[in-house]
A and B are shown apart, each in its own frame.
Chain A
Amino acid sequence: MSDFELPPEPGSTRLVATLTVAGLLAGLLLASTYALTLPAIEANAAAALQRAVFQVVPGTTAMRKLVLTGGRFVPADGSEAKDAVAVYAAYGDGGRFLGYAIPGQGPGFQDTIKLLFGYDPQRELVVGMQVLDSRETPGLGDKIFKDPAFAREFAALAVRPEAVVVKHGTGTLPNQVDGITGATISSKAVVRIVNERCAGLLDKLPAAAEVPPAPKEESR
């Protein structure tokens, strides 16, 4: 490109005009694409969340979002602050309350790990866990969501006083999680996120008897 000879300078008005027009057209195209794709993107995010809730609390057929306002959880009505702490009450057939799906996040090995776990207040057990977003090392740390055996560790996990990670294959007690060989930091990060969330929220969750009833229109 060194032999490229610039034609005479066309005057700065023309240069500014060209870039302005290019910017305007680009903005127009982006705004319309955004408007066109936004409904689908939001629907995808909602569907992904619903799938995750249904998975971490086995047997769920309906859910209701609860937000923390003034120290207690109330059904979300759209008026809550955007960053309000939220949990999802999960209901089975016939509107029977099953448990909560609780989102949590914290630092992993490389980047923030976002996850969702199910908690059954009647049995006081974590009943499921799914990693929603992470950038853990491929082949090692990513086993926190690729290895089904690790997910099974959360199928009935005691979290009071807290869950602990032990060397792979040595977990025997209900509050022990078999760590992933080669991904100790990632395994511990997941358990730490679950512990922190439990310590902060479990006492604030409405007791099983006080949970708001299942939403009328059962969405599947």
Chain B
Amino acid sequence: MNAPSSPAEAARLHAEFVKGLWRENPVFVQVLGMCPTLAVTNSAINALAMGAATTAVLACSSLLVSLLGRFIPAQVRISTYVIVIATFVTVVDFVLQAILPDVHKELGAFLALIVVNCLILGRQEAFASKNPPLAAVLDALGMGLGFLFALLCLGATREVLGNGSLFGIDLFGPAFEPWVVMVLPPGGFLMLGLILLLFSWRLQRRAAAAAEEKR
């Protein structure tokens, strides 16, 4: 991987990295990868671990697909991507079991289900296979961190409301009556709905402001 040769190139790479964080956030804007988003965000630490695992898988897969993309015939590309992704997911699974057994226990089956996170396959198909390795990895890191950020938003709010704690640290003391529904599956839908509402409201307002300016 060569260092960016010109300021324009550097700016482009920077843009590839940044877009996933906010403007094209995989959860809030593209609404991809809803299964882990809803299932493992009942606590901040779970959300963080799932986001980090997904980012690692995404970055490794994007690098490999970008390097090998032109050797893979188009007819079998999806199957090959799935093999690549499944391999990295299993590697992450083993590594977590070896070094962070508690986190592995918490994530359980959802770790293996990273394979079917359409965010990852989507990035391979839409970006990594058509771009050089450096750009592909930056794009993957941006998308992965954007995903992590979104999961953390959900996980933190759900844990605070539903359990009265953040990262396992009690916030309100025994007087707080937790909204148990927030850590149950319906709470995931409620919270995600609220956050998406906020996002589209912001977008709408911005579009309205831009239209106002033009006039």
Contacts and interface: CB of A to CB of B under 8 A. Distances in A.
A-B pairs with lowest CB-CB distance, top 5? A40-B98, A37-B98, A26-B87, A139-B180, A37-B94
Contacts of A44: 97-98, 101
B6 interface: no
A10 B75 contact: yes
B73 A10 contact: yes
B84 A26 contact: yes
A145 B76 CA distance: 47
Contacts, number: 73
B56 interface: no
B101 A48 contact: yes
Contact of B80 (A4, A19, A133, A182): A19
A177 to B, nearest CB: 22
Nearest to B43: A138
Contacts of B74: 4, 6-7
B95 interface: yes
Given A19-B83, A137-B184, A138-B183, A14 B73 contact: yes
A84 interface: no
B162 A33 contact: no
A9 B75 contact: yes
Interface of B: 42-43, 71-76, 79-80, 83-84, 86-87, 90-91, 94-95, 97-99, 101, 105, 108, 125, 162-163, 178, 180, 183-184
A21 to B, nearest CB: 9
Interface of A: 1, 4, 6-7, 9-10, 14-15, 18-19, 22-23, 26, 29-30, 33-34, 36-37, 40-41, 44-45, 48, 133, 135, 137-140, 182
Contact of B95 (A26, A37, A182): A37
A18 B184 CA distance: 44
A18 B72 contact: yes
A139 B162 CA distance: 8
A18 B76 contact: yes
A18 B87 contact: no
Contacts of B101: 41, 44-45, 48
Contact of A18 (B73, B95, B98): B73
A113 B159 CA distance: 24
Contacts of B79: 19
A138 B188 CA distance: 12
28 contacts: A1-B125, A4-B74, A6-B74, A6-B75, A7-B74, A10-B75, A15-B73, A18-B72, A18-B76, A18-B80, A19-B83, A26-B87, A29-B87, A30-B91, A34-B94, A37-B94, A37-B98, A40-B99, A41-B94, A41-B98, A44-B97, A45-B101, A133-B105, A138-B162, A139-B42, A139-B162, A139-B178, A140-B180
Contact of B75 (A15, A36, A37): A15
